[in-house]
Each structure stands twice: as structure tokens, then as C-alpha cells.
Amino acid sequence: MKTFFKIMTTGIAFLANAMSSPAALATAPESLSTTRPNVVVIMVDDAGLMDFQPFGGEANMPNIQKLADQGTRFTGYRTSPLCAPSRAMLLTGIDNHRTGIATIPEVIPDEHKGAPGYSLYLEPGVKTIADRLREHGYRTYMTGKWHMGSRVEDLPVSHGFDRSFILDASGADNWEQKSYMPFYNTAPWFEDDKPATLPADFYSSEFIVDKMIEYIGDDKTTPAQQPFFAYLAFQAIHIPIQAPREFTDNYSGVYDQGWHELRKQRWRKAQKLGLVPKDAPLADMPDGLRKWQQLSEEERRYYAKAMAVNAGMLEAMDFHIGRLMAWLQQQGELDNTVFVVTSDNGPEFNDVIHSPGIELWQAISGYNSDIDTMGEKGSLVSIGPEWASAAASPSSKFKFYSSDGGIRVPLIISGPQLPKGNTEASLSMVTDITPTLLDYLNLLSANTQNHEVDITGRSLLPVILNNADYTYGPEDAVGLEVAGNSALFKGQYKLTRNLPPYGDGRWRLYNINTDPGETQDLATSHAEKFRELKQDYNAYANSFGVQIMPEDFNSINQLFIHSIHKVIEQYWLALIIIVTLVLAILYFLFTAISGTFSQRKSA
């Protein structure tokens, strides 16, 4: 009888999920509706699937490991390849083109500015999970990176958060209130609806946790009556990678063998952990990347230290997450809190020290690239494309791109009455997190207002509770697109296209069950399946308002152009003064030389 009941329950859940619209989802157990658990969502920046210890990474992350052991690890989870679109989708459950944040301001082409879905702020009718939970009595807080607009109407305080201390930029220094790239002239932090100043002892991961504890503690009511929603968006491990020396020192020598060896090590570990099949081929690193052995000894020392800082920054973040967990334990709230831990996209490939004109900007901004103090205050460093490719192993490419190196990232969900120690390999999407939490809390319902934008994601609760085998069936086509880099998943197949500089704009087809490294293009040998998925993608693009990219679009070139415009906009007066001084000096030099020449001629 027990077996029959389980079969019937599974069948009913699967049928409901398959036949419903994306927002009509399975219901959580009734007991969950009376516990009113707290919700903590942790967003890590630019971490690939195997950067997390529970997925095989080198960094010591005992607290995130504990959450993974107490919950479900998702190994088939995909996000968008860029930060702001991923954050918009995570917080709303809605495809990025319907949120208004289809791409990021740093790379948007002029042709797309102002198009529907490309306003680069959350548009009317788009509700965040904070909006929805606050309507049901939750206190709502956010600390960390926002990157979705700095007008008052765009800030978290206008999108459901009671309190917030946020950074509205793609990144910033982790030790001081200053920018990490010429696109920004400062680090724009805001507390609630006003510009804010960072404390003198600031370190980003520590501060993000401290401020969250302050908000929850200062506003504490009877927990059973008013639970909280906390969204912590860490700067780790976005450029600039920075960490206290005591964490970085833990990885001395770990990366001395270089990026090729790390890529192979992670690939082999991925096979042991079941992240990829044992016979899955490993993709080559992108063309044009450097060979480790061709570097000078000083260069190898530099890049090995950079990756050590990267791991140290992850460990430092985990340490401070542990402080939050310990504080919740002291308050008697830890066991009544659901945690979601994920990353916005794959590893960052941009190498800041090789950017055009960066030396002058570094000097002006007070940055250095010293190896001995790397990662400490005043240090500007990134891991570069070679390490990013290695970190993305066993997948191909990295951030910005729709190959799995850019979009396959870790996801962990744990909480009261949820199974412990599970691993879920079926496809899941960043848009699924909000509906999953609403489903878990028994707060998911049909939209009641005509102007409200529909949730497009699906609840993962059925697969978490083992009531369904998958969230997206073999005939479900699931698309995504950011800045022309596109993907569509359907069953065991993935259609994808990547634009320059590390792509060529060609559509390719892969069987990601047998070839997760995307090494064998099936577009020709499986021409009918290729056409089918291409039609599915076109339907997705037309339905969601995906704009056609300019033919010559290159994300790096676009970023450079926007940065030049920003520098001129921000420093035009200083530039005029400098140009005037240079011209004046040249004039006086010319006059002096002319006078000397005239005197000699007269003599």
C-alpha cells in the first residue's frame, strides 16, 4: 500500500507539473505552512560549479559544506552568463527580458537602449520575492551587490526591502570605497534610499554579514509572528579578488602547477563526484590562451598567487557566513531557516592588469600589482582567462558566454523538513528559485492583478521532496539570452551560440548528457534536431522580446567604448585642464625654441 501511495503521489505531482503553466506549481507539505521559517538567500559572485567545496573545489568552505550536507545540491542548475540579469531573475522568478534587465549597462549596444525589457531597471509590474514575502508579514533585508539601478525608484527599498545597504555597480574594491575600473568614478553604496559611506575598517564579506546581523537584530520581533527574509549578495569572488593574508596563505603552493593541470584535476574530480559521466571528454581551453610553461618564472609566481587569493576570498566569505549561522544559532533561529546558496554566473575571465591604459588608471586610483601583498588593501588583481577556463572545468568557456562554463554554477537549498544530503542532477534554472521558495512557504498563488508580470520559473520543490523526477520534461524547451550569447535546453540536447571575442557567432548543438564539455557539435549529424531546437529558440526569443545583436558586436570592445565615454563624462573638466596645460607648455616651449633660433639667426 505504501508503494502504491508513493507511485500515485509521484504520478500526480509529475502530471500537474507537466500540464501546468510555469507558475502553477506543486504545493509544499501542509506542515510547512505553519512553521513560518526564515529565508536566507546567499549570492556568490562569479563562482563556477567546482569553485565550491561541496562540488569539488580547493577552497576550505566548511559552512557552505554543512549547508550542502543538510540539504540538496543541484548539479544541473543553470543561470545567465552575466550578473545583473541573473540577479533580476533570481529575485523575481521572471525571465530577464521581462524584468527590464535583459543585459548590463557596461555592454549594452546603443541600438538596444530603451527597447522593451532593456531599460536596465526592474520595470512596472515586476515583483521581487521581497515584495511577495513582505505582503505576508516577513521582514525583508538586503546587503551587498545590487547592480540594478541607483534611482530611488530602482533601489531595493522600492522593491520590497525594509532595510538595505547595497552597491549599485558591477563590483568595487573590497577594502575601500573606490572603483575597480574606469567605468565608475567611485563605489556607489546606498543605505536604504540615500548614498552611504563605508566604515574605515571595511572588508566586504565581513561588512555584508555585520550589516545583516545589525538589521535583523535591531528589528527583531517575536520570530513566530514575523520571520525574516535576508538576501546577502557577496562581492566574492568578483574583480578585484582581495582577501586577508591569513586566508590567502592557506593556498600557498596549491596552484603552482598551473591552469592546465587544475583543469584536468577538476575534470577528474568531476567524474568521481558524478558531476559528469566517467567517459565525458574534456573541452580544450579557448584559442589564444597562454601556455603555463611559456610564462616566465615571475609570471607563474604572479598567477599562482592570484589563484591563491581567489581561494582565500572564498574561504573568507565562508568564514563570515559561518558567523551569521552562529548568530542565528544563538538566537534560536538557525534550525528554522531555509538557506539558498548559489552564484550569479561562471568565473570572470577579464584580466585587469592587461587592460589598455590600466597602468595610468592604477596609479591615479592608488592600486598596485605587487605579488607579496596581493589581495590586500591597494591590490588590484584578477585571475584572467586561463584560470577562469580552468576554474570552469569540466565545462567550456566562462562568464559572459552561454557555454556551460558561463552558466553552470552551484546551487544548494537546505531548510526545515527538507531532505538532507541529496544530489539533484536534473535541469533547473535561476528563475526557479523564487517560485521554489514561495511553494515551500505555501505562498505561491495565481496573480491577482492584471498589471503584474507572470513568474516564468517553476518550483523545484517536487524534485527536492522526491515527488518528481525532473522539473523540465523532455519536451520542455528552456531558453536564455544575454548580450547575444544564447542557449536553449530540451531534453538531453543544448543549442548554443557565443559571440566574439571567445565565440564566433555560430549556432551549435550538443548532447549535454554524454558531452557536458560541449566538445562535439551535432548540428550537421543531427540536422533535424538542430532545426527543431532552433525553431524553439526563435519562439522563445520572439515571445520574450530578445533584441537582435549588431553584427559587429564584441562585449570587450563595447565595454571599452562605454568606459571611454564614462571617463570623458566624469572627468571632462580635468581633461580640459590637462589638455590646456599641455598645450600651454608646448606653446611656451615652441616660443622659447623659436626665440633662441631667431637670436642665433640674428647673430
Q: What band does 5 get if pLDDT is binned at 50, 70 and 90?
A: very low
Distances (CA, A) of 118 to 308, 545, 547: 38, 9, 9
- Using the 8-state DSSP alphabet, how is residue 435 labeled? H
Where does the pLDDT of residue 548 fall: very low under 50, low under 70, confident under 90, or very high at 90 and above?
A: very high
Helices (H), 164-223: 204-218
Question: What is the structure's pLDDT at 370?
Answer: 94
Cell 540579469 belongs to residue: 85
pLDDT of residue 363: 84
Residues 56-64, mean pLDDT to the nearest whole number: 98
| CA pair distance 23, 33, nearest whole angstrom | 19
Q: Average pLDDT of 505-514?
A: 97
Determine the angle formed by the axes of helices 204-218 and 297-330, rounding to 10 degrees: 10
Residue 171 has a pLDDT of: 94
Query: Prior bond to 237 cis, omega within 30?
Result: yes
Residue 249 CA neighbour count, 13 Å, CB half = 5
**In angstroms, rounded to a whole number, what is the distance separating the alpha carbons of residues 71 and 480?**
27
The answer to whether residue 83 is catalytic is yes
Report pLDDT for 553: 84
Q: What is the mean pLDDT of residues 209-219?
A: 94
Indicate whether 282 pLDDT > 90: yes
Interval 334-388: pLDDT, tens: 999 999 999 999 999 999 878 777 788 788 889 999 999 999 999 999 999 999 9
pLDDT of 132 over the 60 cut: yes
Q: What pLDDT does 543 receive?
A: 97
Judge whether residue 23 has pLDDT over 50. Answer: no
What's the rounded Cα separation, in Å, for the pair 237 and 51? 10
Q: Is the pLDDT of residue 250 over 70?
A: yes
Q: Report how far residue 336's alpha carbon sits from residue 214's, in angstroms, rounded to the nearest whole number.
A: 19
pTM score, two decimals?
0.89
Q: How confident is the model at residue 9 (pLDDT cuts 50, 70, 90)?
A: very low
Residue 596 pLDDT: 58
Q: Does residue 2 register a pLDDT over 80?
A: no
Instruction: Show the cell assigned to 434.
Output: 523564487
Would you place residue 451 in the very low, low, confident or very high pLDDT band (cuts 50, 70, 90)?
confident
Lowest mean pLDDT among 294-298, 322-326, 513-517, 561-565: 561-565
pLDDT digit string, tens, across residues 32-59: 445 689 999 999 999 999 999 999 999 9
What is the C-alpha separation between 420 and 353, in angstroms, rounded? 43
Which of 147, 159, 238, 562 is catalytic? The answer is 147
Task: Find out whether 523 and 509 touch, Cβ atoms under 8 Å.
Answer: yes
What pLDDT score does 595 carry?
A: 59
pLDDT in tens, 96-127: 999 999 999 889 999 999 999 999 999 999 99
Greater confidence (574 vs 210) lies with: 210
- Among the listed residues 83, 97, 159, 562, the single catalytic one is 83
451 is catalytic: no
pLDDT of 449 above 70: no
Across the chain, mean pLDDT equals 89
For residue 334, give Cα distances in angstroms to 40, 65, 434.
10, 16, 21
3-state secondary structure 450-487: CCCCCCCCCCCHHHHCCCCCCCCCCCCEEEEEECCEEE
